[in-house]
Amino acid sequence: MEQTERERPAERGWTVRAGGREDFPAVVEVVGEALLASDEREVSRERLAPLLAEDGYGRLLLAVEADRAGRGEPSGDERAVGDGRVIGSVNAFSFRMAVPGGIRPVAGVTGVGVWPTRRRQGVLTALMRRQLADIRDRGENLAALWASEGAIYGRFGYALANSEYRSSIRVEHARLRPDAPRDPGLSTELVRASGARADLERVHATVASVQTGRLQRSPAFWDAALRDTPDTREGRSSLKAVVVSGADGPRGYALYRTLRKGEDGNRASLHVEEITATSPAAWTALYEHLFTRDLVARVDFASVAQDDPLQYLLTDPTRLATTFDDALWLRLVDVPAALAERSYAAPVDVVLEVADRHAPWNAGRWHLRADRSGAACEATVAAPDLSLDVSRLGAAHLGGNALTGYLRTGLLTEHTPGAVNLLDTALSRPEAPFCDQDF
Ligand SMILES: CC(=O)SCCNC(=O)CCNC(=O)[C@H](O)C(C)(C)COP(=O)(O)OP(=O)(O)OC[C@H]1O[C@@H](n2cnc3c(N)ncnc32)[C@H](O)[C@@H]1OP(=O)(O)O
């Protein structure tokens, strides 16, 4: 494939190489500056080091300037980066995600940043290309990320794969329906979050094994989720856990903090960082705890799925203020392998013509045949039923978006009438995808 001038890094005086633990301080400096993070790099290093160490720092990729000749003295910040200095980086966590069909390895792309005075020279493009090849070599068929800006990643084949929301309700409107499922056999306990870790892990593991989009949470990510230091509190209380249990153990939890000031004089708000449960009655019990705490005016939920249970359980769901928050970006790194390892809701037999500028091994025609017993996806020379960019497959892969939307807006081409509709039916899922894990 022909490269543009920007895509020939050697000609611009920098190269891409694998990084390691020793590069970590330089990476924190570059990404911290790129993301306009606070100047407390030590806090960032302390927060990130355990997460990166869990993966052995083996997935760091760096853009490194060959030398500083002719560039003048480095500034104070740059000096920390040193000679042969790092001007850009990308990294990835080795996650396992619940996707349609089971739990699969997924590269969780993270730590993307380019030194401000080296932007728009193709550094990210070179890093992304190398990273996609590395991810494929590791046998991961999917990559996922949370984007700082939505305009960055579409060109690299990623697409929004779901929708997640912030929601908020005033307690006087937070009445649950009389027929909301209630189980007198359940008990509810409030504790410091760190004291309930075993229960939280158990509930989370159950949910994360079945809810599409969920990541299996590792010990270091649990440490991060339960981190309760002044920088994580943002003026709120310590992190609390309310745990709902039955005879067989924990069935649901909410992690929340309180803020004892606000628009209602002395009344507080509750900020729910996570809430999940394994049974309908446990959801009801969690909401009843949150909505009946004394001195509370409002309950805010930091992140909920499109099919969040609360909207169904409220007597008046119109009182729930819901705002689009963010969404996970997904990319098929190996198109035939990702399509073959997925499950399908209905039989489908379709030839896809895929365009992929940054992962050329995906470009071409793929014959996808699937039914409820399994799927196969192989290269073909047959005429395509539809032609599309690889990013469209990322959008639809978790069942959170229909390809029909792209067809209607002219952003994919259907050669066989009805092919997109049939593929959408096969890709559809009964539940909305949700990823509770920031990374
Ligand atoms: C998963 C995560 O970690 S999300 C965090 C992402 N990081 C940040 O937002 C930190 C601040 N931003 C940066 O560090 C850089 O601007 C980056 C990493 C976003 C881009 O790095 P660059 O080296 O400038 O990208 P590169 O030169 O390869 O640009 C490739 C193309 O993307 C475009 N592009 C890059 N960044 C953006 C952006 N933020 N918005 C819109 N377009 C962008 C460029 O214009 C270019 O397009 P073109 O080829 O059509 O001219």
Q: ipTM score here?
A: 0.97
CA distance 47 to 42: 9
Residues belonging to the binding site for acetyl-CoA are 112-114, 120-125, 148-149
Report the atom number in ligand 1 closest to the C-alpha of 114. Answer: 14
Residues labelled catalytic: 153, 439
167 Cα to the center of ligand 1, angstroms: 30
Q: Parallel, antiparallel, or unpaired: how do β-strands 61-65 and 268-277 relate?
A: unpaired
74 Cα to the center of ligand 1, angstroms: 23
Which residue, by CA, sits nearest to atom 36 of ligand 1? 152
Which residue, by CA, sits nearest to atom 25 of ligand 1? 124
| Residue 28 burial class via C-beta count within 10 angstroms: exposed 0-12, middle 13-18, buried 19 and up | buried
Amino acid at 439: F
| CA atoms within 13 A of residue 357's CA, in its CB half-sphere | 15
> Which residue among 6, 110, 119 has the greatest number of ligand 1 atoms within 8 angstroms of its CB, and so is best to mutate?
119
> Looking up tokens 């100047």, which residue turns up?
39
Q: CB-based contacts of 408: which residues, under 8 Å, 6+ apart? A: none
Domains, the chain, with CATH or none: 5-140 (3.40.630.30), 164-325 (3.40.630.30), 335-427 (3.30.1050.10)
Residues belonging to the binding site are 112-114, 120-125, 148-149
pTM: 0.93
- pLDDT value at residue 78: 42
Give the relative orientation of helices 24-34 and 41-54 as an angle to the nearest 10 degrees.
120
- pLDDT value at residue 7: 56
156 Cα to the center of ligand 1, angstroms: 10
CA distance 283 to 188: 11
Report the atom number in ligand 1 closest to the C-alpha of 121. Answer: 27
Q: Parallel, antiparallel, or unpaired: how do β-strands 164-170 and 159-160 relate?
A: unpaired
pLDDT 10s digit of each residue in the chain, 439 long?
A: 555 555 566 667 899 999 999 999 999 999 999 999 987 888 889 999 999 999 889 999 999 997 654 444 444 444 344 458 999 999 999 999 999 999 999 999 999 999 999 999 999 999 999 999 999 999 999 999 999 999 999 999 999 999 999 999 999 999 999 999 999 999 999 999 999 999 999 999 999 999 999 999 999 999 999 999 888 888 899 999 999 999 999 999 999 999 987 667 778 999 999 999 999 999 999 999 999 999 999 999 999 999 999 999 999 999 999 999 989 999 999 999 999 999 999 999 999 999 999 999 999 999 999 998 999 999 999 999 999 999 999 999 999 999 999 999 999 999 999 999 999 999 999 999 999 899 9
Q: For the residues of 393-435, what is the DSSP string, one character each?
A: HHHHTTSSS-THHHHHTTSSEESSTTHHHHHHHHH--SS----
> Which residue among 35, 60, 149 has the greatest number of ligand 1 atoms within 8 angstroms of its CB, and so is best to mutate?
149
Closest CA to 304 of 99, 145, 146, 166: 166
- pLDDT value at residue 234: 84
- pLDDT value at residue 40: 82
CA distance 225 to 428: 31
Which residues, listed in sequence order, are joined to residue 61 by a DSSP beta bridge? 18, 90
Which residue, by CA, sits nearest to atom 20 of ligand 1? 124
118 Cα to the center of ligand 1, angstroms: 11
- pLDDT value at residue 262: 66
Provide residues with CB under 6 Å of ligand 1.
34-35, 109-114, 119-125, 145-149, 151-152, 155
90 Cα to the center of ligand 1, angstroms: 12
Which residue, by CA, sits nearest to atom 26 of ligand 1? 122
Which residue, by CA, sits nearest to atom 49 of ligand 1? 122
16 Cα to the center of ligand 1, angstroms: 16
Total Cβ atoms within 10 A of residue 402: 18
Closest CA to 295 of 273, 270, 272, 271: 270
Which residue, by CA, sits nearest to atom 6 of ligand 1? 112
- pLDDT value at residue 231: 82
- pLDDT value at residue 77: 44
| Residue 356 burial class via C-beta count within 10 angstroms: exposed 0-12, middle 13-18, buried 19 and up | buried
> Looking up tokens 């599409």, which residue turns up?
212
- pLDDT value at residue 230: 85
CA distance 377 to 365: 10
CB-based contact 320:314 (threshold 8 Å): yes
> Which residue among 7, 106, 124, 153 has the greatest number of ligand 1 atoms within 8 angstroms of its CB, and so is best to mutate?
124
